[in-house]
Amino acid sequence: MTALKPFTMPKWGIEMTEGTLAGWQVQEGKPFAKGDVIALIETDKITNEVEAEADGCLVKLVASEQDTLPVGALLGVMGPPDADAGEVEEFVASYKPSGTGSANDDDGYGSAGGEPDSGGEITDHDEPPSPASSASPSERAQANLVTIPDDVAISPAAKRAAEAAGISVDDIQPSGRNGRITRQDVDKAIAGSRSPELKGPIEAPGQEKAFASPLARRIAVQNGVDLSSVEGTGARGRICKADVLKRIDAKQPVAAKEPSKKPQGAGSAGAKEIVPMNSMRRTIAKRLTQAKQDVPHIYLRRKAMAHRLIALRESEGKPGTINDYLIRACALALREVPSVNVQIFEKEIHRFDSADISVAVATDRGLITPIVFAADELSVSDIARTTSALAQKAKSGKLKPEEFQGGSFSISNLGGFGVESFDAIVNPPQGAILAVGKAVPQPVDDNGAIRIVPVLHLSLSCDHRAIDGVDGARFLDALVRLLEQPEQL
């Protein structure tokens, strides 16, 4: 029977239970080389590339693009290009997930486990068998492959790989204990026997001088996008994947919208477009609904004069945005009122020594909250550099799970969009979130003098199970004092 292997949904991080196949990067039945990107897998917050750790071929693509599947689900079948179609279909029909689909599985393809060796041999833990090495004796004979005697000092996995590749033991330099040949020795011998294949540069319009990421270039080549006409939103204007995908979407013809039938009592009778939620938006909807239902919110509001903060920022040469100063001020206020710097679980309250502040960032796929760790120990300029880097990674989908999971407090600032005030929903398991509006000129009593100055509208949402109103009031009082006396920052 042809050697077939499952290619499954990988698992990245403890909290990952499902993923979305954002796109196939290989074609069915077409071989790929080690290092090629096989697929793009999208999780709640990020998009990762699955790279081939060995040469291979996907003889069948089981999952379709944009399918959301659990960890360990079968995405495709790997095997030789000439695999029998009936055997492939039988493999798909009989496949059952047998593991977690960890990205660190031995085969390197997110495989959720596999069948044991028929002979029950114990192979080297770091020597995964290749598809070709598990061929039957008759298949190896048809391919004119060698047979290695049983008395040769060679590991089982190395023996199978050498026989499948037609490598004689005389051509292999052993490096194992007592002169034993390992799988790595065979791989080196195979690599040394191959003639280099010069493919040359990628030929694509606008690629020559474009400042773009490798993934952006690859997607551009596959879709015929001229990178010279794409505006980069990455660091220093670098073109990222999201920029190319945006241009591809703009090139797609707009499908004619069918006029919707207006039910009695319904609203507009105009055309409508039904847009399915992506995995990130579905997760946001689920978690916000749960937070609003399960968390008893309490809302506290204050105003803060911002004219001294604005003047200080100008005098310091604008080391960061107003939001960076707000992060610094919140961090110091949390240090002063630690009862707000918490995470809340069913029967426990976790209080933190450092202020790990999550900052809401809007992306094309939805809202994400990268974390500025230990913000209370960073200067405003340090915070500015950190938030800028995190925002760029968030918008390009390159955040690592540890960069957005956790945090002890959140800030959501919509002042830049002209919103004067709003209330935010607590982001569990955190205990509080600060909503910041636009600084609006208002008359205020400033030490006995009536002045018209920019005033920030602040709204603190707290989980009332662990944070009392007096704790939130003390936090806001400390925050307002820091903002109105910014030299303390």
Active-site positions read 464
DSSP letters, 355-389, are --EEE-EEETTEEE--EETTGGGS-HHHHHHHHHH
Cross-strand bridge partners of residue 76 = 7, 61
Q: Return all residues near 196 (Cβ < 8 A) that are at least 6 apart.
A: none
CA-closest candidate to residue 19, choices 113, 110, 91: 110
Q: In 46-116, where does DSSP find H-type helix? A: 85-94
Q: How far is CA 261 from CA 157, 257, 305, 439, in A?
A: 64, 12, 52, 45
Name the DSSP letter for residue 114: -
Q: How far is CA 483 from CA 42, 314, 415, 444, in A?
A: 39, 15, 16, 15
457 close to 303: Cβ distance less than 8 angstroms: yes
227 SS3 class: helix
How many Å from the N-terminal Cα to the C-terminal Cα in the chain?
A: 70
5 SS3 class: strand
Helices 183-193 and 156-165: angle between axes, nearest 10 degrees: 20
The token pair at 272 is 């409508």
The Cα–Cα gap between 403 and 391 comes to 11
392 close to 234: Cβ distance less than 8 angstroms: yes
CA-closest candidate to residue 165, choices 59, 55, 277: 55
CA-closest candidate to residue 19, choices 50, 61, 55, 52: 50
Query: Tokens 């968030």 correspond to what residue?
Result: 394
Q: Quick one: which H or E segment has residue 337?
A: none
The Cα–Cα gap between 247 and 229 comes to 9
The Cα–Cα gap between 158 and 170 comes to 14
Q: Quick one: which H or E segment has residue 137?
A: helix 137-142
